[in-house]
Amino acid sequence: MSEPSSSSNTAREGSPERLEEGAIQKPQQRDVEKAGLTPDVVPNGKAERVGQAPAPEDADVIWVEFSPDDPGNPFNFSRRRKWATTILAVLFTAEVAATAGAYVPGITSMERDLNVKNHELSLLGISIYALGFGLPPLILAPFSEVYGRNVIYIFCHFCYTVLFVGVGFANNISSIIVLRFLQGAFGSTGSTMVGGTIADIWSSADRGPPMALFATGAIFATGWGPFWAGFVENNTKLEWRWIQYIQAIYTGAILILLTVFLKETRGSVLLTRRAAKLRKETGDQRYRARAEAERATIPILIKNSLTRPLFMLFTEPIVTVFSLWISLLWGFLYMLLESIGLITELHGYTPAQTGLVFLSICLGALIGNLTNPIQDWLYWRYEPKKGPEARLFFACAGALLFPIGCFIYGWTAYPHVSIAGPVVGVTTLMLGVYIIYLAVFNYLADAYLIYASSALAAQSFSRNVFGFAFPLFVEPMYHNLGYHWASSLAGFLGAILGVVPFVLMFYGKQIRARSKLSIELQKMHQRQQEQREKQREQEQAQQAAREPSKQQ
């Protein structure tokens, strides 16, 4: 049951560790605005500046908030429910990652059936899917603030599932390209929104394993998709159309699971619904959730969602270099979807045998997941001293593993060398990609706090633009430079950008101190921690005062 409170009470939406909209105070707001950004939400009395009617005066409002032990607070869900929610969301992540690569093995039979003469058009089907992950999430994200994550998940997943049928029945390559873009657009919520769902229900202290599972789903499934699709393509009675139909079947099954078992996790939306229910049941219009008074209008939210990530991408050095680094790695991941087929051609492999080689991507993700608890331990040991930079111990190792893996992959690409060489190379570089991918998410979240979603959206946009571009020049690059130097080029670029975590490990605090936005957010975080600590002490004192009276 929610706790209607007087307007003087401190907002309790979410966990103690989480910076929530209702907790932003006016002095802090001004500090952040000086840094050049305006939050998605505004403090009481400021609503008119984003096109809303002013919030009622405090005396006329009964704020509906979560009590500390409220079972309706997503942070108070049972661990079983939290893990069930996390697994369901990560299934969506894994689906959309698998779809990226499952398309590749079927290209040969698709070109034959549709009489495709231009091979580059077929390859565009790989790239255009990644492009669909770029802008649409920036437009869809604001709607989750108003309507909740659950309705966005269900709607987007339904469209994503139906589009498999469209691709399977397509009779020309143009239709496939358009449908693949739409699949990426609707499927993008399975990648971009899942991190938010995890943040909704897990405190920062417990978020490591769920985020590791999220990263594992994203990387593992990228290899799993072409693995099983290779066997389908190898069966002349099935081939490329059945690759689509099979995905429609299992994504449809997961859609049913999401519809039945996945519940809303966004705290502000749950409180808004409670306030509306109280107004309806009591007839008292004073019941309000803080999000109702502080939330901007949809057009303003969309504008902020589109502009803020780009602003941070070009003005925040940490966001810029991290985005460039992970974008290169992500681009090479999409290159692998095509180049592995080129390597296995040297060995005369069938589509099914080529699919087995893609399992090396899965292996890299699994090893990363198994070793991640060590990084979590290092983080909790050194975070008080190093701050967000404690997230980067393993990222330094990942920075070394990626170029090493690229060189192994490139220089074992000979017909007379066992395929085990490229497999070891792919496993090594994908272990590096996994480590870096997870580190980027965690570090940006810690460094930018309430603007974490914008920082992550910036790197996601950049990452998927690279994912779009790289597959378009894979074959020309491998044919012109040779298999060995093409992969080595990625290794050299990875080695250059690999200095990023080492620099941040030693100078990250100083670099963040030069960012007006980052330093003001850290000050806000510290002030709010102090406020929460005082509130806890007051509550404990009140509880202690009540206990003797009960005994009497």
Q: Name the 3-class secondary structure at 364.
A: helix
Q: Helices 194-201 and 79-102 sit at what angle, rounded to 10 degrees? A: 170
- What token pair was written down for 98? 């698998």
Range of the domain at 358: 297-532
Please state, in angstroms and rounded to a whole number, the distance separating the CA atoms of residues 415 and 345: 9
**What's the 3-state SS for 37-53?**
CCCCECCCCCHHHHCCC
Cβ atoms of 439 and 395 within 8 Å: the answer is: yes
Is there a domain that residue 315 lies in? yes
Q: Are 334 and 475 in contact (CB under 8 A)?
A: no
Question: What's the confidence (pLDDT) of residue 53?
Answer: 38
What is the DSSP code string of 196-237? HHHHHHS-TTT-HHHHHHHHHHHHHHHHHHHHHHHHHHHSTT
Q: Are strands 62-65 and 287-288 parallel, antiparallel or unpaired?
A: parallel
- Looking at residue 508, its pLDDT comes to 87
The answer to whether position 177 is within a domain reads: no
Kindly report the CATH number assigned to the domain that includes residue 371.
Answer: 1.20.1250.20
> Does 95 fall in a domain?
no
Residue 367, sorted as left (phi over 0), alpha (psi -120 to 50) or beta, turns out to be: alpha
User: Is position 388 within any domain?
Assistant: yes
243 in any annotated domain: no
Residue 462 lies in a domain: yes
- Chain position carrying tokens 């690999």: 498
73 DSSP 8-state letter:
S
Tell whether 528 is covered by a domain. Answer: yes
Q: Quote the pLDDT of residue 495.
A: 95
Six-digit token string for 424:
């070891």
Residue 308: per-residue pLDDT: 87
Q: Rounded to whole angstroms, how far apart are CA atoms 376 and 381? A: 9
Task: Give how many domains the chain has, as a whole number.
Answer: 1
pLDDT given at position 300? 87
330: left (phi over 0), alpha (psi -120 to 50) or beta: alpha
Helices (H) and strands (E) counted in the chain, each on its own, are: 24, 3
Amino acid at 468: F
Neighbours of 57 (CB within 10 A): 10
Does 436 reside within a domain?
yes
Q: Please report, in tens digits, the pLDDT of each residue of the chain (552 residues total).
A: 444 443 333 333 444 333 333 333 343 444 444 434 443 333 333 333 323 334 444 558 899 999 888 999 999 999 999 999 999 999 999 999 999 999 999 999 999 999 999 999 999 999 999 999 888 888 887 888 788 999 999 999 999 999 999 999 999 999 999 999 999 999 999 988 898 899 899 987 788 899 999 999 999 999 999 999 999 999 999 999 999 999 999 999 999 999 999 999 999 899 999 999 999 999 999 999 988 887 778 888 888 888 888 889 998 889 999 999 999 999 999 999 889 999 999 999 999 999 999 999 999 999 999 999 999 999 999 988 998 899 999 999 999 999 999 999 999 999 999 999 999 999 999 999 999 999 998 898 888 877 777 888 889 899 999 999 998 888 899 999 999 999 999 999 999 999 999 999 998 888 888 877 777 777 776 776 777 677 777 767 777 776 665 555
DSSP annotation string for 146-202: HH-HHHHHHHHHHHHHHHHHHHHH--SHHHHHHHHHHHHHHHTHHHHTHHHHHHHHS
Q: How many CA atoms lie within 13 A of 536 on its CB side?
A: 7
